[in-house]
């Protein structure tokens, strides 16, 4: 019991944020998980009540609360729709950190985060080996989507249709960059992100090409590390801060006007989570804040800083539908710019899908732990995409690209899954 008392004391740091919830229940309307299960513990109001329960020492054991807290996509749909403005994501991430600090990290997560993720060079090597050996265990399954599946029953892969590791990751193609500002008179730092580096190197290449085309100088330091979101989502503050420190040290070596990424999750992590979860190291937090202030999603940068605008479209142009990554639209309110980018791409035109901002169900580790639920949420996204009749679906986040690829591929659909900046880069080449 004294243990629960100690936990309650730790939770008091969240009390002022928890009381903001007036229990109106409006989060039920937008939570992608609740839409599938109808269980109150799955929606923000229920989880906030559980955290309040820890504060009030209602439970003998934190495990039940911990499990339910972790069963969340961290998509932020609830926060974006909350009438009283509860900082749901901040509360959940901080509470996960408190609970992990209290209960300890599982051995598997410890091995992944502290043994691999925290060592960027090792992580890169493992990825390269994986790319060489993955063909032994997996085989291509959908040529258009570009997915593979397991050759033999594998508990890790399950029935997933996944986008395989690229044969040559981006850091092997282009280890580092430092080009001066050109016609645009601007220079950016490019933070690549794990998925763009290891699975979607063409996306990273497209980003660099587009910046070069517009005369934007690029600083891309070698040996970048993961942004830390997988670690902090599991409450591993140590690994998270180590990664933030590593990245900031690398990024501080250059001078530039803005930091850009082509990954919605990386962008929102750098802008929001880095400053939020580094309070225990004030120096680091100050650096993180400075960087956050000049961090942009690539489409946001191209539209707001370079003034890219959409073109007139005709029926001749190929229709492209767009999925709003939660971390772009709900966290950063970036939704118009990627659409503009699609319409700025010659030969393509935007065609909206129904409920384009409904979460795709990926949610990082949520997909690993709750694959069936993740799939049910993804199925809804697949149906929305299919309803447009488009042959291309674009989205601003490589994680969403993976989930959407899995869903379309399993449904046997022949759609191309891409990123708006890839379409734009292509259209530049065609000009």
Which residues of this protein are in contact with another protein, per CB under 8 A?
A: 16, 19-20, 22-26, 28-29, 38-41, 45-46, 49-50, 53, 58-60, 64-65, 67-68, 83-85
In angstroms, give the least distance from the CB of 230 to another protein.
25
Sequence-ordered list of residues with C-beta below 8 angstroms from that of 324, at least 6 positions apart, any chain: 335, 338, 356, 357, 395, 396
| Comparison of 55 and 93: residue with beta carbon closer to another protein | 55
Q: Within a 10 A sphere around the Cβ of 293, how many other Cβ atoms?
A: 11
In angstroms, give the least distance from the CB of 232 to another protein.
23
In angstroms, give the least distance from the CB of 382 to another protein.
21
**Beta strands 392-395 and 348-350: pairing type?**
unpaired
| Comparison of 83 and 155: residue with beta carbon closer to another protein | 83
| Comparison of 145 and 377: residue with beta carbon closer to another protein | 377
Helix locations, 294-412, DSSP H: 298-304, 326-332, 336-343, 365-369, 371-388, 398-410
| Comparison of 51 and 362: residue with beta carbon closer to another protein | 51
Measured torsion, CA atoms of residues 59, 43, 270, 287, in degrees rounded to the nearest 10: -40
In angstroms, give the least distance from the CB of 41 to another protein.
5
Reduced to 3 states (helix: H, G, I; strand: E, B; else coil), residue 50 is: helix
| Comparison of 54 and 344: residue with beta carbon closer to another protein | 54
Alpha carbon distance 70, 64 (integer Å): 10
In angstroms, give the least distance from the CB of 75 to another protein.
18
Q: Within a 10 A sphere around the Cβ of 341, how many other Cβ atoms?
A: 28
In angstroms, give the least distance from the CB of 138 to another protein.
33
| Comparison of 46 and 325: residue with beta carbon closer to another protein | 46
Question: Could you give phi then psi for residue 189, rounded to 5 degrees?
Answer: -95, 135
Alpha carbon distance 428, 116 (integer Å): 38
């Amino acid at each position: 019991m004294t243990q629960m008392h100690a936990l309650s004391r730790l939770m008091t740091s969240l009390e002022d944020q928890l009381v903001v919830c007036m229990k109106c229940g409006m989060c039920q309307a937008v939570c992608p998980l609740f839409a599938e299960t109808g269980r109150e513990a799955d929606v923000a109001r229920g989880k906030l009540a559980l955290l309040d329960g820890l504060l009030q020492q209602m439970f003998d054991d934190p495990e039940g609360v911990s499990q339910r807290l972790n069963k969340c996509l961290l998509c932020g749909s609830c926060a974006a729709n909350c009438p009283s403005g509860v900082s749901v994501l901040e509360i959940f991430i901080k509470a996960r950190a408190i609970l992990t600090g209290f209960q300890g990290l599982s051995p598997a997560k410890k091995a992944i985060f502290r043994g691999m993720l925290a060592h960027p060079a090792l992580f890169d090597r493992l990825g390269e080996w994986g790319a060489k050996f993955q063909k032994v265990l997996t085989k291509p399954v959908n040529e258009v989507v570009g997915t593979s599946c397991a050759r033999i029953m594998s508990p890790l892969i399950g029935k997933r249709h996944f986008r395989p590791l690229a044969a040559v990751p981006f850091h092997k193609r282009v280890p580092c960059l430092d080009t001066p500002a050109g016609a645009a008179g601007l220079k950016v730092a490019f933070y690549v992100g794990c998925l763009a580096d290891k699975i979607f190197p063409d996306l990273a290449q497209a980003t660099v090409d587009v910046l070069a085309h517009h005369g934007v100088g690029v600083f891309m330091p070698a040996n970048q590390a993961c942004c830390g979101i997988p670690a902090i989502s599991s409450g591993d503050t140590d690994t998270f801060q180590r990664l933030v420190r590593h990245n900031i040290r690398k990024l501080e070596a250059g001078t530039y006007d803005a930091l850009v990424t082509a990954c919605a999750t990386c962008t929102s992590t750098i802008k929001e989570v880095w400053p939020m979860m580094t309070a225990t190291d004030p120096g680091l937090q100050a650096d993180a804040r400075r960087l956050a202030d000049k961090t942009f999603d690539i489409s946001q940068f191209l539209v707001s800083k370079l003034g890219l605008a959409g073109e007139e479209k005709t029926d001749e142009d190929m229709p492209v539908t767009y999925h709003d990554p939660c971390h772009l639209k709900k966290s950063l309110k970036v939704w118009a710019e990627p659409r503009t980018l699609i319409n700025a791409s010659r030969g393509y035109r935007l065609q909206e899908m129904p409920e384009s901002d409904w979460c795709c169900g990926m949610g990082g580790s949520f997909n690993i732990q709750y694959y069936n639920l993740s799939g049910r949420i993804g199925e809804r996204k697949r149906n929305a995409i299919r309803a447009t009749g488009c042959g291309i679906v674009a989205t601003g986040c490589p994680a969403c690209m993976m989930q959407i690829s899995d869903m379309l591929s399993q449904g046997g659909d022949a759609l191309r899954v891409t990123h708006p900046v890839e379409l734009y880069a292509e259209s530049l080449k065609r000009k």
